[in-house]
Structure 1
Amino acid sequence: MNLITNLYSALAQGTLWGIMALGVYITFRIMDIADLSCEGSFALGGCITAICIIKGINPFLTLLIAMAGGMVAGLATGILHTRLMIPAILAGILTMIALWSVNIRVMGGPNVSLLGEDTVFTIIMDTFGIDQTLATLIVGIGIGIIVIAMLYWFFGTEIGSALRATGNNEYMVRALGGNTDTTKAIALIISNGMIAVSGALVAQNQGYGDIKMGTGAIVIGLASIVIGEVIFGKRFNFAYILGSIIGGSIVYRMIISLVLHLGLSTDDMKLFTAIIVALSLGIPAIKAKYSQRRIPA
C-alpha cells in the first residue's frame, strides 16, 4: 500500500516538473541550444513565489511574477549569447551562477519557509475538501493543459514557425532575411519563464523556497524528454509531442519513487538519473547503427 501511495504522489509531482521539462524541450529539442541557466531559473521561480507569499501576495499571482522573473533571466542569457557572442552553453552557465546570488538577495537568505502560509495547493484543498496529493494533481494537470495549448498555438504562428525553422537550420533562416538572434532570445525567454513557473509550483508544494532547489534540473528535464520520446514516440501532432514530455516526467518520477522504495540511497539518485539519460540517448543511436550494419549490400 505504501508503494501505491508513493507512486500516486510521484504521479502528482511529475505534472509539476513536467512544466519545467517543457521549457527545457523548447531550447534543447526545438532550438538545439544547450541552456544551463534553467537550474538558476527554476530556483528563481521558487524564491520569488516564496518571498511574495510571505509578503501577502496572492499565491496564483506569484506564479505570474515568478514567470516574469524567469523571462528576465532568459533574456539575460539571450543577450550574453546573441549580443556578446558568448557560446550558448557558457552563457547559460554565467546566468546560472549569477542567479545564485540573485536568489539569495531575493529571499534575504538561503531559504524561506511557507509553513502556515496559503499556497495554490492549500487554496484548492480548502475549496474542494481534498488532500494535497489530489490538489497537486489537479493544479499540475490544469496548468499543464494551459501551457501545452498556448505553446501549440504559439508555434503555429509566424514567430513560432520562425523559432522552429531557426532550430532546424538557422543559416537558411538568415539567408531568407530572418533575424535568428531575435528568435533565439525569444525561445530562451519563453523557456526560462516556464521553468520559473514550475519552480514556483514546486516551492509552494514542498512548503519552502531554497536556492539549491534547481540543482540537477537540467538532467531531470532531459530525462523527462528522452523518456517521453522513447515511450510515447513522436507520432501524431505537436500537441501530442508536448503532452508526451509531461508523460515522460511522470514516468521518471515514478521510476525514482520505485527505486527509492527498493532501497536505493537518495545520495545515488543523481548518478541513477545520469545513467537513465545516457542510456535513453545512447540506445536509439546504437540500435540505428546496428540496423544499418544488418542491411545487406
Structure 2
Amino acid sequence: MNTVIDTLVTGLPLAPAFLGVFLVLRIRADFDLTVEGSFALGGAVTAVALLAGLPGWPALAAGAMSGAVAGLRTALLNLVLRIPVLMAGLVMSMALFTVTLRVLGRPTVGLLGEETVFARVAAHPGRAADLGMSAVLLAVVAVVFAVFVAFLRTEIGLALRASGANARMVRSQGVNDSGLLVLSLMLANGLSALSGGLLAQVQGFADVTMSVGLFVAGAGAVLLGALLANPGGSQVVRMAVAVIVGCLLYRLILVCSLRLGLPAGDLRGVTALTFVLAISAQAHLAPALARYRLANRT
C-alpha cells in the first residue's frame, strides 16, 4: 500500500509533462527538448510566485504560462531562423537553465510554510496527508487529461493530429502548419511547466536541476504505456490512458528500486535502462501484440 501511495504522489505530478512529451513525440512526430527546461522553469516560477504571496492555484497557472512562452520561443527559432525543432529545443533547454537560475536567485528555493494547493491536506498526520495529496493530484490530472482529450476532438485538434501523420497533406488542405507547430510546442511546454509547478508544491521546494532527464523518462513512459495499455474506445482515449499507465509504471519502477536499496544516485541509470527496454519492446513485442489483439477481435 505504501508503494502504491508513493507511486501516486511522485508519479501523478509528472503526468501532464509526459502528456506534453507524447504530444510532440507521437502526435507531432518530432523532438522538443525544451520540455526539460520548461519543467524546471514552471517549478521556479510557481515557487517564486508563492513566496511573493500569490495563492497556490494562480501561482501554478503562472508557472504553466512561463512554459508556454518558452515553447513559443522554440517555435520562433524554428520558423524565423530556420533552426530544426530538435536543435532549437536543445538550445532553449540550455538557455532555460540560466533563466530558471535567475528566477530562483539560487539553486534551490524552499516552500516550507507557504500556502500551496496541498496546504490543507498536508496538515493531516501520517499517510492521511499523502492520500489527500493523491486525491488532489488525481483531480488535477483528470481535469487536464479531459480537457486535452476534448481539444484533440475539435477541428483544430484533428488538424494537429493530421499534421503529425502527413504535414504535406495538411498544408494542401489550406491548414496553417506553422500555426499548428506553435500551438503544439506551446501546449507541450505549458503542460511540462504545469508538472514542474505541481512537483515543486508536492516536494516543498524548487530546484534548478529538477528536470534533468525528463524527456528521456517521458519518452520511455510513453512507449511503455503505448505497449501495455490498449483499451477499447476511441483512439484519443487510448492515447490518454497509455500516457497515464506509462507515467505510473515508470514511477513504480523507481519507487521499487529505492525500496530494494538502490542508491538515489543510480535512478538516472534506471531511467536510461527503462528507456532502452521500452524502445526494444516496441521494436520486438509491439508487432506480435498487435497481431494477437487483431486475432482476438476477429
Flag whether TM exceeds 0.5 (same fold). Answer: yes
Contact in 1 for aligned 2:50/2:114 (Cα 8 Å): yes
Aligned to 1:18: 15
Letter in 1 for 2:264: T
Q: Deviations over 1:11-64 (max 9, x none)?
A: 222111111111111111100110101110000010001111111100111111
Letter in 1 for 2:92: T
Aligned to 2:164: 167
Aligned to 1:271: 269
Supply the distance in 2 between the matched residues of 1:213 and 1:140 (Cα, whole angstroms).
Answer: 19
Question: Shift in Å at residue 244 of structure 1?
Answer: 2.6
Supply the distance in 1 between the matched residues of 2:275 and 2:20 (Cα, whole angstroms).
Answer: 17
Q: What is the aligned counterpart of 2:178 among 181, 200, 208?
A: 181
Q: Assess, with a 3 A threshold, how the Cα gap between structure 1 residues 174 and 17 changes in structure 2: closer, same or farther.
A: same
Supply the distance in 1 between the matched residues of 2:187 and 2:251 (Cα, whole angstroms).
Answer: 24
Question: Shift in Å at residue 289 of structure 1?
Answer: 7.4
Equivalent residues, number: 288
Aligned to 1:295: none
Supply the distance in 2 between the matched residues of 1:228 and 1:290 (Cα, whole angstroms).
Answer: 16
Aligned to 1:210: 207
Question: Shift in Å at residue 287 of structure 1?
Answer: 4.1
Contact in 1 for aligned 2:30/2:85 (Cα 8 Å): yes
Q: Deviations over 1:254-273 (max 9, x none)?
A: 11111221122222221221
Q: Deviations over 1:44-100 (max 9, x none)?
A: 010001111111100111111111101000101111112221111100011111111
Aligned to 1:107: 104
Q: Which moved more, 1:124-133 or 1:45-54?
A: 124-133
Secondary structure at the aligned position of 1:209 is classed as strand
Supply the distance in 1 between the matched residues of 2:226 and 2:286 (Cα, whole angstroms).
Answer: 15
Supply the distance in 2 between the matched residues of 1:198 and 1:288 (Cα, whole angstroms).
Answer: 29
Q: Does 1:228 align with 2:220?
A: no
Aligned to 1:60: 57
5+ long unaligned stretches in structure 2 = 290-298
Question: Shift in Å at residue 290 of structure 1?
Answer: 8.4
Q: Which moved more, 1:128-137 or 1:32-41?
A: 128-137
Contact in 2 for aligned 1:39/1:217 (Cα 8 Å): yes
Q: Does 1:246 align with 2:244?
A: yes
Question: Shift in Å at residue 133 of structure 1?
Answer: 1.2
5+ long unaligned stretches in structure 1 = 292-297
Q: Assess, with a 3 A threshold, how the Cα gap between structure 1 residues 260 and 161 changes in structure 2: closer, same or farther.
A: same
Question: Shift in Å at residue 225 of structure 1?
Answer: 0.9
Q: What is the aligned counterpart of 2:91 among 94, 99, 105?
A: 94
Supply the distance in 2 between the matched residues of 1:120 and 1:183 (Cα, whole angstroms).
Answer: 32
Q: Which moved more, 1:263-272 or 1:280-289?
A: 280-289
Output aligned runs, 1:193-204, within 5 Å: 193-204=190-201
Contact in 2 for aligned 1:148/1:239 (Cα 8 Å): no
Q: Which moved more, 1:199-208 or 1:130-139?
A: 130-139
Letter in 2 for 1:46: G
Contact in 2 for aligned 1:43/1:199 (Cα 8 Å): yes
Aligned to 1:51: 48
Q: Does 1:255 align with 2:261?
A: no
Question: Shift in Å at residue 235 of structure 1?
Answer: 4.4
Supply the distance in 2 between the matched residues of 1:290 and 1:58 (Cα, whole angstroms).
Answer: 50
Aligned to 2:296: none
Identical aligned residues as a percent: 35
Q: Assess, with a 3 A threshold, how the Cα gap between structure 1 residues 213 and 288 changes in structure 2: closer, same or farther.
A: closer
Compute the TM-score of the two structures, normalised by the length of structure 1: 0.91
Q: Does 1:133 align with 2:100?
A: no
Letter in 2 for 1:253: R
Q: Deviations over 1:148-187 (max 9, x none)?
A: 1111111111111111111001011122222211101100
Supply the distance in 1 between the matched residues of 2:127 and 2:268 (Cα, whole angstroms).
Answer: 33
